[in-house]
Each structure stands twice: as structure tokens, then as C-alpha cells.
Amino acid sequence: MDRIRILGGQPLKGRIAISGAKNAALPLMTAALASDEPLVLENLPRLTDVRTLARLLSELGVETALEELPRAGDGSGGDRLTLNAANITSTTASYELVSKMRASFWVLGPLVARFGEAKVSLPGGCAIGARPVDLYIKGLEKMGCEIELDEGYVIARAPKGGLQGAVIRSPLVSVGATHTLMMAAALAKGVTTLENAAREPEVADLAECLNAMGAKIEGAGTSSIRIEGVERLHGATHKVLPDRIETGSYAMAAAMTGGEVTLTGTRPDTIEAALTVMRAAGVEALVKDDEITVRRNGSRLQAVDVVTQVYPGFPTDLQAQFMTLMTCAEGEAEITETIFENRFMHVQELARFGANISLHGDKAIVHGVKKLKGAPVMASDLRASAALVIAGLAAEGETIINRVYHLDRGFERIEDKLGRCGARIERLK
């Protein structure tokens, strides 16, 4: 199993090109199931999760053609993936693949909408909380689906004549449920309204792609989405939007090391909440078009309290990285996690660097220390992996990060991008 080795204490200086967003690419790939014509996705990140979902789609009969395009000198660019779901051979998504990645469950919506039935294993993914799928199920039931749970599988059957439009109000904001129900509603009869819908940029990106395929979706990016169903969707070409979580992670790495890094090809408007908090901590973040230049003036950062929230609030996917940033800030920072109940597993690993963090239910109190020291650590999930890399970059001495397969799920060539900015980082096979 691969490991990452870091010799810390080197400020980052240079430019980092931001890849396409994992959290956008995955629902876009599942959208191919809603059409019998090819869907071409550009700016696709080269990630384990993308390959895992491609294997699942292939199991269902989707023809996949991946072009691994060369990256530019600054690391910019992405792959091109063509998905053709004209000849689906199965509507069953197996436990073997769905259990590896939660986003695989999203195939439920387009499958039952287009074919009238689907059998999908209950999902897996990072061990950061229960994240039940009842919101998906209740939404499909509102559209007329009959749902049965059998030996770990969700079996969905559409009524004769297909799914019917409905008003679906979710008691909780769920990105996955919004993705799934929006894809299903695109092929339903009549109008569907999703109330209390997720507002994430990735939801709007999916809607933009579906509309390019012939869907009629309004309001994506707001809490109320209106979908007028159509009989069929056609093919399209769509460019995956930049990854806001990768953007925020590298911004915090630059701030943590005291360097200056320009993040290119990104969407600054999608991480405004994170930039606001970083500026309050004493980080300079200069925005110009699709670039963000992050630097620290040499003084110690100031502790800032943060509460994770649904978009446009501070993202839970940057909580671990920001906690790392606060480990060396002056004062005491209170970090409250409201999205996932089990997302503080990185705390014990940060403690191995010498961080002073105490847990109180859904709150972590970070008492800033003057410096971190390198240590052997183990990643517990995808975003915690990035947090450990950030800590290792700033720590004195050597850090070895184990279980870096989590990193490969969501960060494209992280050691190459950081190495280009002066980080002493290498992958140990």
C-alpha cells in the first residue's frame, strides 16, 4: 500500500492548477444513464472514484471511452470521458462496487426513471457517519415508486406509465438526494418541485449538463428547483466545473506553510465562505478572475471559530483542513461540525504532530501551539488525508502518511502539484 513521505518546514511558492471537481464529475457520470445517446465529459479529474464509478457503469452495460489527456506544464487540463448508455444490459448495481463509494447509489434515479426499475446496493464510502438514504427513497415514493428493501438492496419500481411529477420537500438538505431526484424528475411525467434542495455548485453543474441534454430544469443553485419532465434526453458535451474543495485545501496549505501560491483555473465564488474565514485568521487571499493568490505576511495566524453548514456556508469537506490551519494559530478556535456526526477522526492523528485539540461532542477546541513536529500518521477518510498532508508540510522533520488511497479518491496528483511549489514530498510505493 502506498505511503506519502514529507519533509516539512518549506514554504510553498508557485502556481497550482485546479482539477475538475470530484463531487461534480460523479453525478455527471451517472446522468449518462438517462439517455441512449453519448454524453461527453471534459476536464475530468484523474481519480480512483472516477475509475470506480466507470467500472460500475460498465457493469450496467454503459460503453466507456476514457482519453487520458496530457497535462500542461502547470498541471492544468483534464481527461475526456465518453459514456454511451444506449445498450444497458442490467439495472442492478452490485454491492461489490457500490459499497466502495457512496456516490454509486445515485444511479438509482436515472435507472428507475428511464427503465422503470432498479436494484441498487445500499452505499458505502468514507466512515464519517450514517448518512441514511431515506431521503432518496421517500422522494422516489412521492413520484410513484414502489420501494422494497431486500438483503441490503434497494429495489425500486416505477408505476405503469412512468414516474409522476410531485412536490418533494426534504426535511434535511441532502446533496445526494437532490442529485438523484433531479435526474429522476427530468424523465418524469409532469412537473416536479424540489423544496429545501441542496444549493451546492455541483448541483447547478449537474442541472446545466441535464439541460444541455434536453431537460427543463430551473432554479438549480437555489433551495427550490423546478423540473418539467421530458420524454427523453439526448447526448451532450459538458465541462466539469473546478473543484472548490481542492481549491480550499491548497489555499490552506499555502497559508499553513507561510508561502505564496496562486491557484489557477478555479471558481473563487464557490468557496467564498472559506476565504472569508481564512482572511479573518490573517491570510491574504487575492481574487482575480479565475485565480486566487494566497499568502501570509509572516505573522502568526489568529484563531477563528467555524461552524460547518450546508452551502453557501463553510463546507464540512474543508473542516479537517481548517482545523489543521488552526493548530498553529494564536489563541483558541472552536470548530463545530453540524453535517456529519463522526468527522473528527483526524483529531487523534493531528495530536501525533503535537497539536492540542480537545473534543466536546460536536465541537473541537483547538488550542494553538507554536509548531508541529513530523510523525507517522494514518488517514481515516478522504478530507482527513488532505489535513494530514497540510500538517506534514508545516511540521518540523519527517512525516509518513499511511493509507493514502483515500487521497487518490479525491486529489489528483497531489504530490506533483505540491512538489512543483517546492514541497519536499514523495510517494513511497
Q: In this structure, what CATH number is given to the domain that contains residue 70?
A: 3.65.10.10
**250 neighbors 324 (Cβ within 8 angstroms):** no
- Which residues make up each annotated binding site for UDP-N-acetyl-alpha-D-glucosamine? 102, 131-135, 317, 339
What is the reported pLDDT for 127? 42
Place of cell 447526448: 235
* Cis? peptide before 312, omega within 30° of 0: yes
Residue 374, amino acid: G
Same domain, residue pair 222 and 289: no
Residue 12, amino acid: L
Pick the catalytic residue from 126, 145, 328, 421.
126
Place of cell 471534459: 42
Same domain, residue pair 219 and 119: yes
Angle among Cα 34, 99, 89 to the nearest 5 degrees reads 40
Same domain, residue pair 155 and 262: no
The mean pLDDT value of the chain amounts to 94
- Which residues make up each annotated binding site? 22-23, 102, 131-135, 317, 339
pTM (predicted TM-score) = 0.96
Same domain, residue pair 133 and 233: yes
Same domain, residue pair 200 and 293: no
pLDDT tens for residues 148-167?
999 889 999 999 999 999 99
Same domain, residue pair 202 and 246: no
What is the reported pLDDT for 130? 46
- Which residues make up each annotated binding site for phosphoenolpyruvate? 22-23
For residue 248, report the phi and psi dihedrals to the nearest 5 degrees: -65, -35
Alpha helices per DSSP H over 32-94: 48-59
Residue by residue, DSSP assigns 398-419 as: EEEEE-THHHHHH-TTHHHHHH
Question: Structural domain of residue 64, as residue ranges?
Answer: 22-239
Residue 129 in this model has a pLDDT that exceeds 70: no
Dmax over Cα atoms in the chain, in whole Å? Answer: 67
Per the structure, how many domains does the chain have? 2
Rounded-to-integer distance, Cα 222 and Cα 237, Å = 24
**277 neighbors 321 (Cβ within 8 angstroms):** no
The mean pLDDT value for 373-396 works out to 95
**1 neighbors 405 (Cβ within 8 angstroms):** yes
What is the reported pLDDT for 126? 41
Instruction: Decide which of 239, 257, 272 is a domain's last residue.
Output: 239
SS3 state of residue 123 = coil
Same domain, residue pair 307 and 328: yes
- CA distance between the termini of the chain: 7
Rounded-to-integer distance, Cα 300 and Cα 293, Å = 19
Q: Sorting pLDDT into bands at 50, 70 and 90, what band is 128?
A: very low
Instruction: Count CB-CB contacts under 10 A for residue 404.
Output: 23
**116 neighbors 189 (Cβ within 8 angstroms):** no
Place of cell 428493501: 149
pLDDT tens for residues 187-246?
999 999 999 999 999 999 999 999 999 999 999 999 999 999 999 999 999 999 999 999
User: Active-site residue 421, yes or no?
Assistant: no
SS3 state of residue 198 = coil
**Residue 92 half-sphere exposure, CB side, CA atoms within 13 Å?**
6
Residue 365 in this model has a pLDDT that exceeds 70: yes
Residue 348 in this model has a pLDDT that exceeds 80: yes
Identify which has the larger pLDDT, 99 or 291: 291
The mean pLDDT value for 404-426 works out to 94
The cell numbers describing 286, all together, are 487575492
Instruction: Count CB-CB contacts under 10 A for residue 414.
Output: 24
Same domain, residue pair 213 and 248: no
Rounded-to-integer distance, Cα 282 and Cα 90, Å = 54
Q: Sorting pLDDT into bands at 50, 70 and 90, what band is 124?
A: low
- Bridge partners of 357, per DSSP, are 366
Same domain, residue pair 58 and 163: yes
Instruction: Count CB-CB contacts under 10 A for residue 210.
Output: 29
What is the reported pLDDT for 125? 44
Rounded-to-integer distance, Cα 259 and Cα 415, Å = 17
**24 neighbors 241 (Cβ within 8 angstroms):** yes
How far lies 85's CA from each of 29, 55, 57, 89, 125, in Å? 11, 13, 9, 9, 25
The mean pLDDT value for 77-101 works out to 93
Residue 297 in this model has a pLDDT that exceeds 80: no
Same domain, residue pair 313 and 418: yes
Q: Which of 361, 365, 364, 417 is nearest to 389 (CA)?
A: 417
Instruction: Decide which of 239, 267, 288 is a domain's last residue.
Output: 239
**Residue 124 half-sphere exposure, CB side, CA atoms within 13 Å?**
15
Same domain, residue pair 189 and 301: no
Instruction: Decide which of 186, 209, 239 is a domain's last residue.
Output: 239
Rounded-to-integer distance, Cα 44 and Cα 240, Å = 6
Q: Which of 344, 347, 425 is nearest to 392 (CA)?
A: 425
Q: Which of 148, 147, 145, 149 is nearest to 160 (CA)?
A: 145
Same domain, residue pair 249 and 377: yes
